[in-house]
Amino acid sequence: AQSVSQHNHHVILSEAASLELGCNYSYGGTVNLFWYVQYPGQHLQLLLKYFSGDPLVKGIKGFEAEFIKSKFSFNLRKPSVQWSDTAEYFCAVNARNNNDMRFGAGTRLTVKP
Amino acid sequence: NAGVTQTPKFRILKIGQSMTLQCAQDMNHNYMYWYRQDPGMGLKLIYYSVGAGITDKGEVPNGYNVSRSTTEDFPLRLELAAPSQTSVYFCASRVGVGGSDTQYFGPGTRLTVL
C-alpha cells in the first residue's frame, strides 16, 4: 500500500516569509496527490490536488505544489504567508488502482504576526 | 446541501461500552470513509465503502465495524470501547470517479474513553 511522509512536524514563520512544506510518498504506480488544510476548530478542506497534466498545480489562497515524479515528492509552497495561514497541513496520496487514501502525519504551521 | 454531517460532536465512554458514530452525506457520493486523527499521527483510515452494501478495511480496522445500507449513511460502531480508541473521528465522502475527485470531510467527533 502507499504511504506518505511529511518531514516537518511544526514550522514557525513570520508573516511575509516564504513557505515550503515537504511531502514524499512511496508507491511505484500512478497516483493522485492532495494537500488538505485544517484551520483551528475547523474540518479538513482541500487546498489543491494533482492527478495529471502540468506538475505545477495552483490551489486556493495562493498555495501551489509541484509534483516531481523522480523524487516521489509533492511539496507545498507559498511565496508569502499570512497570519491566517496558521493551520495544520496534510499531504495525501491515492493510488489509481486503490480506493483508499493515505495521509501524512501533518505539519503544523504557525505564522507570527 | 449540508455536505457531510457527523453526530455526536463529543462523547465520553467508559471502557467496555459500545456506541455508534453517525455519518451522513447528501451529495449522492458513492465513496465514504472513516478516519481517526491522533496528535502527530495524521489521519489513519479505519474503513471505507465504495457503495451501498460494500465495505472494506483500511489501515486500522480492529475494534470497529461499519455498515452501508444506504448511499447516504455510513455509521461506525465501537463494540467494546478501549482507551486506545480515544481520538477524533472524521467521516468523508467523494463521488468516486478515478480517485482524483475531492474528499469532503465532516466536522469530526471527539471521543474519549475512560
Give the pLDDT confidence of A98-109 residue by residue, as tens digits. Answer: 677 889 999 999
Mean pLDDT of B9-30: 95
Half-sphere exposure of B24 (CA within 13 A, CB side): 7
Output the pLDDT for position B99.
63
More confident residue, B69 or B95: B69
Q: Facing residues of B45 across strands?
A: B35
| DSSP at B73 | B
Count A/B contacts: CB-CB distance under 8 Å: 67
Average pLDDT in chain B: 92
How far A110 CA lies from chain B's nearest CA (Å)? Answer: 15
Mean pLDDT of B28-46: 91
Report the 10 Å Cβ neighbour count for A99.
17
Contact indicator for A21, A11 with CB cutoff of 8 Å: yes
Q: Smallest Cβ distance to A103: which of B40, B43, B102?
A: B43
Output the pLDDT for position A97.
67
CA-to-CA distance for B93 and A32, rounded, in angstroms? 16
* B12: enclosing H helix or E strand: strand B10-13
For a pLDDT cut of 90, what percent of chain B falls above it?
82
> Most A CBs within 10 Å: which of B44, B45, B100, B102, as the mutation test of the A interface?
B100
B68: confidence class by pLDDT, cuts 50, 70, 90: very high
CA-based max dimension of chain B: 41
Mean pLDDT of B67-72: 96
Output the pLDDT for position A31.
87
pLDDT tens figures, A22-56 = 999 998 788 899 999 999 888 899 999 998 899 99
Output the pLDDT for position B100.
66
Q: Is residue B19 over pLDDT 90?
A: yes
How far A27 CA lies from chain B's nearest CA (Å)? Answer: 15
Q: What is the CA radius of gyration of chain B?
A: 13
Q: Smallest Cβ distance to B100: which of A42, A49, A100?
A: A49
Output the pLDDT for position B97.
66
For a pLDDT cut of 90, what percent of chain A falls above it?
74
Q: Smallest Cβ distance to A101: which of B33, B41, B108?
A: B33
Output the pLDDT for position A3.
85
Contact indicator for A31, A95 with CB cutoff of 8 Å: yes
How far B80 CA lies from chain A's nearest CA (Å)? Answer: 26
